[in-house]
Amino acid sequence: MKKGFYLGFIAVFFTVCALPAVLMPVLSASTSAEKRTLSAPPRLFEDGALNTGFGAEAETWLSEHFAGRSQLVTLHARLEQALFATSAEAQVILGREGWLFYEPTLQDYLGTAPYSARELYALAAVERLMQQYVTANGGRYATTVAPNKNSIYGEYMPYFTVSARGGGSGLAALPAAMQAQGVNYVDLYGLLTAAKASDKTQLYHKRDTHWNNCGARLAYDALLDAVGQPHDAFADAAYTVEKNWEGDLDVLLLPSGGVPDDQMVYDIPFAQLFSYRGSSNVELARVITRGTGSGNLLMYRDSFGNALLPFVAAAFKDATFLRANPFDLTRMEPGQTVITEIVERNLRELLGPAPVLPAPEVTVPAAGQHLADTTCTLYTETDGDMLRVYGALDPELVQDDTRVCVLVTAGGGARAYEAFPCSETLPDGTAPAPGYGYSARLDTADVPPDATLSLALLEDGETIEILCE
C-alpha cells in the first residue's frame, strides 16, 4: 500500500515538473507578452565548432520559454503587491492610486545626479552645432526633451521618494542654457507643468512610461509652432476616454492579465490626413509618411514620438521619422525641416557619441598659450570620406563654457573646426566624463598628409593651443 502511494507520489511529482517543458509548444511565453525579445533556441554547434556556452544558453532559453511562465510571473507580482505593497519587477515602481513609474527615471526625480554647469553648456552646444548645420542647408530646426512621467506627476510617486526628492526636475535649468546659445528649444517641461495646473486633463498614462494623446497633442502643437510650420492645433477636437491601452509598465509587471489603461481617442480623421509609405508600425527605426500638409520633415525621435507621429505626419507633405542615436544629420535634404526629440532620462546620451555631420570651420583668435604637458588626448579614425578626430580634455583646463576646436596646421597656416563636446569611446575602452570629451568629423580633403593636428580651447575670448601626442 505504502509502496504504491510512494510510486504514485513520485510519478505525480515528475509529471508536474515535466509539464512546463511538455506544454512549451502551446503555452510558452511570447515575445509580445513582456515587451522584449526572448532568447533564441541554443545551438550545439556554431560556426562549425562546439558551442561551449550551450549549457548556459539552454538554461536561459528554458527559463524564458517554459509553459505558464507569464501566468506565474503575474501571480507572483500580484502577491508581492497585495501582501507587501512592493513591486516584483525591479524596473517598475509602484506609485499611488494605481500609477506605475519607470525605475531608471528615479535618479532624475530624486535629483541625485544633477546636471553640472559644464553639462548644461555642453548639451546646448551640441544642439547649437546641429541647428547651425540645418540652417546652413536652408532648413528649420527645433529640439525638445520629453519629460519623464514623474517630472510631471511626481505627486503619485511612493511617499518615501516624495520626501527624499531634491530640487525638482533638472529640465528646469535647460531652457536658459539653450537660450544663451540661441538654440530653438521647446520647453515641454514648462508647457506640460502649466497645462496640468490649469486643466485637469490627464497628460500621461497611469501604467505606461509615456504621455497619452492629450500630452502628445500639446507637444506637437508647440513643436510645429517653433519651426513655423502651418498646422491644425486640434485644440477643440473632441475625444473620448477609452480603457483600452496596454501600458508598457503594466505588461512588464503583469505580463499575463494586466490592468487596461485609459487612452484619449481624438475624433480626428487621421486616415484622411496622412498615409504610411510602407509599414505603419511606429516602433520601427524608420517610418515614412505622406500627408496633406506642406514641406518636408526629418524627425529624430524615441518612443515618445509614437503618439506624436500621426499629428506631425498630417502637417507635412513628406515626413521621415527615425529612431537612432547619435543623430545623423547628413541624411537631411536641403531645405528640410529637422526636429529632434529625446526623453529626459536619456538626455546625457547627447554627450556620448557625437551627431554625424561635418564640423563647421570657425575663426579663432591667435593662440596666446601653447601647452604640451596636459592630460588631453587626440585620436584619429577614418570614416569614409571623413576623418574623425576625438579624445579627452584635461578637466583642469576646461571652464563651464569652454569651446573646443581642432586645429589643422599645414603649409604655414592653420584652420579651425569646432568640435562637439561629446565623449567618444577611447581606444582603451573608456570614455571621458560628460562634457570633457570632444569629437569632430573633418573632410579628409581638408587634412593634408603633412598636416599637424592640435586642439584649441576658447575661453574668455582667448585661445589656448593644446599640443597632444
DSSP string, 343-411: EGGGGGGGGSSPPBSPPPEE--PPEEEEE-SSS---EEEEETTEEEEEEE--GGG--TT-EEEEEEEET
Bond from prior residue into 158 cis (ω within 30 degrees of 0): no
pLDDT of 219-241, one tens digit each?
999 999 999 999 999 999 999 99
What pLDDT score was predicted for residue 31? 45
What pLDDT score was predicted for residue 20? 55
Does residue 414 or residue 18 have the better pLDDT?
414
The torsion region of residue 9 among left (phi > 0), alpha (psi -120 to 50) and beta comes to alpha
Q: Is the pLDDT of residue 76 over 90?
A: no
First to last CA, the chain: 86
Q: Is the pLDDT of residue 460 over 90?
A: no
The whole-number average pLDDT for the span 343-358 is 97
Alpha carbons 352 and 5: distance in angstroms, whole number? 65
The HSE-up count of residue 342 (CA atoms within 13 Å, CB side) is: 18
* Contact predicate 382/139, CB 8 Å: no
What pLDDT score was predicted for residue 255? 78
The HSE-up count of residue 463 (CA atoms within 13 Å, CB side) is: 17
**What 3-state class would DSSP assign to 81?**
helix
Judged by average pLDDT, the poorest of 60-64, 204-208, 318-322, 355-359 is 60-64
Alpha carbons 13 and 27: distance in angstroms, whole number? 20
What pLDDT score was predicted for residue 50? 72
* Contact predicate 185/179, CB 8 Å: yes
Closest CA to 193 of 163, 172, 220, 221: 172
Closest CA to 67 of 23, 13, 16, 31: 23
What pLDDT score was predicted for residue 13? 58
Question: Which fold, 361-466?
Answer: Immunoglobulin-like (2.60.40)
* Contact predicate 216/264, CB 8 Å: no
11's enclosing H/E stretch is helix 2-22
- Residue 160 backbone dihedrals phi, psi, to 5 degrees: -75, -20
What pLDDT score was predicted for residue 74? 52
* Cell of residue 340, nine digits: 529632434
Integer CA distances (angstroms), 428 to 420, 424, 432, in order: 21, 11, 11
Q: Is the pLDDT of residue 419 over 70?
A: yes
DSSP 8-state class, residue 204: B
User: Which of the four pLDDT bands, split at 50, 70 and 90, describes residue 32?
Assistant: very low
Kindly report the average pLDDT of the chain as a whole number: 87
Single pTM value for the model = 0.85
Alpha carbons 180 and 183: distance in angstroms, whole number? 8
Cβ partners under 8 Å of residue 51, min gap 6: 42, 43, 44, 45, 57
Q: Is the pLDDT of residue 397 over 90?
A: yes
Domain chopping of the chain, boundaries: 98-351, 361-466
Q: Is the pLDDT of residue 15 over 70?
A: no
User: Which of the four pLDDT bands, split at 50, 70 and 90, describes residue 27?
Assistant: very low
The whole-number average pLDDT for the span 380-391 is 95
Alpha carbons 449 and 440: distance in angstroms, whole number? 18
Q: Is the pLDDT of residue 47 over 70?
A: no
Judged by average pLDDT, the poorest of 70-79, 92-101, 277-286 is 70-79
User: Which of the four pLDDT bands, split at 50, 70 and 90, describes residue 468?
Assistant: confident
* Contact predicate 404/392, CB 8 Å: no
- Helices 213-226 and 305-315: crossing angle in degrees, nearest 10, is 50
